[in-house]
Copies of this chain bind each other. A is one copy, B any other.
Amino acid sequence: MLENIRVVLVNTSHPGNIGGAARAMKNMGLSRLVLVDPEEFPSGKAVARASGATDILDGAQVVATLEEALVGCSLVLGTSARDRRIPWPLLDPRESGTVCVEQIQLGGEVALVFGREYAGLTNDELQRCQFHVHIPSDPEFSSLNLAAAVQVLTYEVRMAWLAAQGRPSKVEKLEVTAMHDTQPVTADEMELYYRHLEETLVQIGFLDPAKPRHLMARLRRLYGRIAVSKLEMNILRGILTETQKTARGEPHKRRDQ
Residues of chain B within 8 A (CB-CB) of A218 are 231-232, 235
- Interface presence of A204 (CB below 8 A): yes
- Interface presence of A92 (CB below 8 A): yes
- Interface presence of A64 (CB below 8 A): no
Residues of chain B within 8 A (CB-CB) of A250 are 246, 249
Q: Map CB proximity to B onto A123-152 as digits: 1 under 8 Å, 0 otherwise.
A: 000000000001111110111110110011
- Interface presence of A242 (CB below 8 A): yes
- Interface presence of A106 (CB below 8 A): no
Q: Map CB proximity to B onto A235-247 as digits: 1 under 8 Å, 0 otherwise.
A: 1101100110111
- Interface presence of A24 (CB below 8 A): yes
Stretch of A4-12, A67-75, A168-176 lying at the B interface:
A168-176
This chain: copies in complex = 2
Query: Is A27 a contact partner of B162 (Cβ separation < 8 A)?
Result: no
A90 to B201, CA, bound (A): 33
Stretch of A33-41, A108-116, A222-230 lying at the B interface:
A222-230
Query: Is B208 a contact partner of A159 (Cβ separation < 8 A)?
Result: no
Knowing A27-B143, A235-B215, A252-B205, say if A136 contacts B159 (CB, 8 Å): yes
Query: Is A246 a contact partner of B158 (Cβ separation < 8 A)?
Result: no
Query: Is A175 a contact partner of B90 (Cβ separation < 8 A)?
Result: yes
Query: Is B256 a contact partner of A255 (Cβ separation < 8 A)?
Result: no
A245 to B255, CA, bound (A): 14
A83 to B205, CA, bound (A): 42
- Interface presence of A28 (CB below 8 A): yes
Knowing A134-B171, A249-B250, say if A87 contacts B177 (CB, 8 Å): yes
Closest 7 CB pairs of A and B: A205-B252, A87-B178, A29-B138, A206-B242, A27-B137, A148-B151, A92-B171
**What are 22 of the A-B contact pairs (CB < 8 Å)?**
A20-B145, A24-B144, A27-B142, A27-B143, A28-B137, A53-B141, A87-B178, A89-B178, A90-B178, A134-B170, A134-B171, A135-B155, A145-B151, A147-B148, A201-B239, A205-B242, A206-B238, A210-B256, A218-B232, A218-B235, A222-B232, A249-B250
